[in-house]
Amino acid sequence: MKISRSLVAVGAVAAVLAGCAPSREAYRARPVLAVAQTVPMPGAGDAADDPAIWVHLTDPTRSLIIGTNEQEGLGVYALDGSLVNYYAFGKPNNVDVRYGFPLGGRSVDIAATEDRSNDSIRVFEIDSSARSLAEISAGVLSAGMEVYGSSLYRSARGGGFYFFVGSKIGEVRQFRLTGNAGGKVEAELVRTLKLATQVEGIVADDELGHVYIGEEGRGVWKFDAEPSASAEGTLISPIGGDQPLRRRDVEGLAIHKATTETGYLIASSQGSNEYVVYTREGANDYLGTFRIARGAAIDGAEETDGIDATSGNLGPGFESGAFVAQDGHNAGGNQNFKIVPWSAIAAAFDPPLLQAE
């Protein structure tokens, strides 16, 4: 693991020392290129929304990208962007994965999403051999509100699995997920958080015990992710012209884990077609901004909703992991997801961001 780490942009530091707002150069977006993209969604319009990267633990080249089609289901893609499986159901918004969920005497990997068609939580088992999904929800797991945005969380303190789900009125509910005797997953409400306006992007840091919530018009909030913790959060990155999130609105959130306790929090700044990088640890200091630019074979990404990142070795070309972003204006047709090696993002910063060797 490289030990270099990016510092706050030089322009921003100079501006702080001078007692003035950071210059435009302080927030300059570094261009990176996608090396692959998923096949377009089957339907036109606003369809692709949020991706989750699942790492195959014995053969990383067989890792998957699970992406939501908010019009009708989930797509399962290989790392080259080809479609492996497709599941038509409901109106899923966000999707997330976790490993080692205890279920009926087994340990399974799961993907979970919120379904806007009936305001429920849906949980799927990931079959590593068939690279397929099978729903394991114990009936309709009602969220009890109009759902919008979600994330899984596995507590390092208590060991439990949880599902955070948000709403358009700023309410975020935390559910405990458990397996029952019939081998299905049940959900129990354990805590409610309240923000002032609409939220969507949510990501949880399992090891450090935080959950980050994007309030689309105000910025990124940080809360303790434990169910017994306070419901008070901290606005770590507000939206404004003199802030790293320069324009409305903040959408997807992702975490790249360099080590157990270090790495990066990444936010999709949909209004500026950029991705803002903060330290994962400490006070979530701003490190810089990047964008996915148009390349010779693959277009860039604009108006991104969901994002995901992993530091896991995914095989040749992705030895240091990958970053996946929804593309709201795919030049090749309907919306899709763009795939960028983490090494390309790390190298775009000076000094470079941490990456696995």
Contact predicate 328/336, CB 8 Å: no
DSSP code of residue 58: S
| Angle made by CA atoms 40, 43, 49, in degrees to the nearest 5 | 65
Full DSSP string of 60-89? GGG-EEEEEETTTEEEEE-TTS-EEEEEE-
Distances (CA, A) of 18 to 14, 31, 244: 6, 28, 18
pLDDT at position 6: 39
286-293 vs 29-33, strand pairing mode: parallel
From CA 102, how far away is CA 119, in angstroms rounded? 25
Domain ranges of the chain: 10-348
pLDDT tens over the chain, length 357 residues: 333 343 333 334 334 333 444 555 678 999 999 999 999 999 999 999 999 999 999 999 999 999 999 999 999 999 999 999 999 999 999 999 999 999 999 999 999 999 999 999 999 999 999 999 999 999 999 999 999 999 999 999 999 999 999 999 999 999 999 999 999 999 999 999 999 999 999 999 999 999 999 999 999 999 999 999 999 999 999 999 889 998 878 999 999 999 999 999 999 999 899 999 999 999 999 999 999 999 999 999 999 999 999 999 999 999 999 999 999 999 989 999 999 999 999 999 999 999 865
- Which position has the token pair 């992406």? 67
Distances (CA, A) of 68 to 29, 111, 159, 256: 27, 11, 27, 20
Of the candidates 155, 205, 150, 139, the one whose C-alpha atom is nearest the C-alpha of residue 173 is: 150
CATH fourth-level superfamily of 10-348: TolB, C-terminal domain (2.120.10.30)
Contact predicate 340/352, CB 8 Å: no
How many CA atoms, within 13 angstroms, populate the side-chain half-sphere of residue 199?
30
pLDDT at position 110: 98
Helix (H, G, I), strand (E, B) or coil at 195: coil
Distances (CA, A) of 218 to 9, 97, 147, 174, 320: 23, 27, 19, 21, 32
From CA 174, how far away is CA 156, in angstroms rounded? 16
The predicted model scores a pTM of: 0.93
